[in-house]
């Protein structure tokens, strides 16, 4: 792994946007250089300390899944080396953590698929026995496996805001019936295949979110990241049953160490208010989080 990178500075290309993790640069009019930094956000706040290796792990996992799922849906990769888009003195910032992708017209919906009841889905189920308008059987518990994967979309929020769960009917209003059905069916097909493969590696994909866009021929194309621990809830198979029986959240391959520490930390005797700036992360939390991301990659690609 290369040195940790909190923020990239590629002066040879116009900066389009800095997200929670990725820095996107324009490469001509038709391509984007996506640089995955080692930034980590929790509760929609970006931490001041990077997680070493995180950006490279996310990139390797995304490339792994793009290659494996290409027969289901085309993706935004150009096949070109990201290093070819920058000056020689900028290659170190880009190598191993970047993708050179086609510039698409994004579909403004988070395509979320759930195979298990967790997170906001569990909260919504407790209130209404449904998630995003999808009725579910009574008696389900936190982390219950669903009878079938369900499509539970969200409206994309502005930076720093929470995405809002919406119904399929609302997706139809945003995109039209044909595109909505296409995105739903592709999302569920991708999830089914990925979940089956992950299961063979001792991992459960509880839920995940995809992003799609249109290319110049109006084809629906899979874009952004795919099936990384930042966009998906991965659980180890061996920890699931005990957690489910006790009603707890199963252990996960992501930033749960950071969330747990932030929930427990006290500043002047008070809990952190979940507003910037974030408390400084201790070394052991950074190390444990980095180890979880590494383990997810190693399990998946072993």
pLDDT in tens, 181-234: 999 999 999 999 999 999 999 999 999 999 999 999 999 999 999 999 999 999
- Residue in the block written with tokens 């001041």: 48
Q: Which of 76-85, 151-160, 165-174, 288-297 has the lowest mean pLDDT?
A: 151-160
Report whether pLDDT(39) > 60: yes
What is the reported pLDDT for 157? Answer: 67
C-alpha span between 62 and 60 (Å, rounded): 6
User: Comparing C-alpha atoms, which of 211, 237, 213 is closest to residue 225?
Assistant: 211
16 by Cβ neighbours in 10 Å (0-12 / 13-18 / 19+) ranks as: middle
What is the reported pLDDT for 159? Answer: 56
CB 237 within 8 A of CB 204: yes
What is the reported pLDDT for 1? Answer: 61
Please report which residue ranges of 73-133 form alpha helices under DSSP H: 91-94, 119-128
User: Comparing C-alpha atoms, which of 262, 257, 277 is closest to residue 54?
Assistant: 257
The arithmetic mean of pLDDT across residues 109-122, rounded, is 95
119-177 per-position pLDDT tens digit: 889 999 999 999 999 999 999 999 999 999 999 999 976 655 667 899 999 999 999 99
C-alpha span between 229 and 297 (Å, rounded): 9
Report whether pLDDT(44) > 90: no
Residues counted in the chain: 302
Q: Is the pTM of this model over 0.75?
A: yes
Backbone angles phi and psi of 16, in degrees to 5: -90, -45
Report whether pLDDT(102) > 80: yes
CB 131 within 8 A of CB 124: yes
Report whether pLDDT(3) > 90: no
Mean pLDDT in the chain? 95
User: Comparing C-alpha atoms, which of 296, 234, 233 is closest to residue 58?
Assistant: 296
C-alpha span between 230 and 236 (Å, rounded): 16
- Residue in the block written with tokens 């190693």: 298
Report whether pLDDT(59) > 70: yes
**257 band by pLDDT with thresholds 50, 70 and 90:** confident
CA angle 186, 224, 87 (to 5 degrees): 150
- Residue in the block written with tokens 């874009």: 223
Please give the radius of gyration of the chain, using alpha carbons only, rounded to the nearest integer. 19
Q: Identify the DSSP state of 244.
A: H
Domains defined along the chain, listed by start: 15-103 (3.30.200.20), 106-246 (3.30.470.20)
């Amino acid at each position: 792994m290369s040195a940790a990178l909190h923020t990239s500075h590629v002066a040879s290309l116009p900066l389009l946007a800095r997200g929670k993790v990725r820095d996107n640069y324009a490469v001509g009019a038709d391509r984007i250089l996506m640089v995955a930094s080692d930034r980590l956000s929790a509760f929609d706040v970006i931490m001041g300390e990077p997680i070493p290796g995180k950006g490279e792990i996310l990139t390797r996992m995304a490339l792994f899944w793009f290659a494996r799922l290409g027969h289901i849906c085309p993706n935004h990769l150009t096949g070109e080396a990201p290093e070819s888009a920058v000056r020689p003195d900028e290659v170190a910032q880009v190598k191993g953590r970047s993708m050179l992708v086609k510039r698409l017209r994004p579909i403004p919906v988070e395509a979320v698929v759930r195979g298990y009841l967790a997170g906001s889905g569990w909260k919504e189920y407790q209130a209404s026995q449904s998630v995003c308008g999808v009725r579910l059987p009574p008696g389900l518990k936190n982390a219950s496996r669903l009878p079938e994967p369900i499509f539970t979309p969200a409206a994309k929020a502005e930076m720093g805001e929470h995405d809002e769960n919406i119904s399929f009917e609302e997706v139809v209003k945003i995109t039209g019936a044909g595109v909505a059905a296409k995105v739903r069916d592709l999302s569920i097909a991708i999830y089914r295949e990925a979940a089956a493969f992950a299961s063979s590696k001792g991992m459960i994909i509880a839920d995940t979110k995809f992003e799609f866009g249109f290319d110049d021929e109006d084809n629906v194309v899979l874009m952004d990241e795919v099936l990384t621990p930042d966009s998906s809830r991965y659980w180890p198979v061996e920890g699931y049953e005990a957690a489910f029986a006790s009603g707890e959240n199963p252990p996960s391959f992501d930033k749960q160490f950071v969330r747990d520490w932030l929930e427990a930390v006290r500043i002047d005797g008070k809990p952190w208010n979940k507003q910037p700036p974030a408390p400084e992360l201790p070394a052991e939390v950074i190390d444990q989080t980095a180890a979880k991301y590494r383990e997810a990659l190693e399990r998946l690609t072993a």
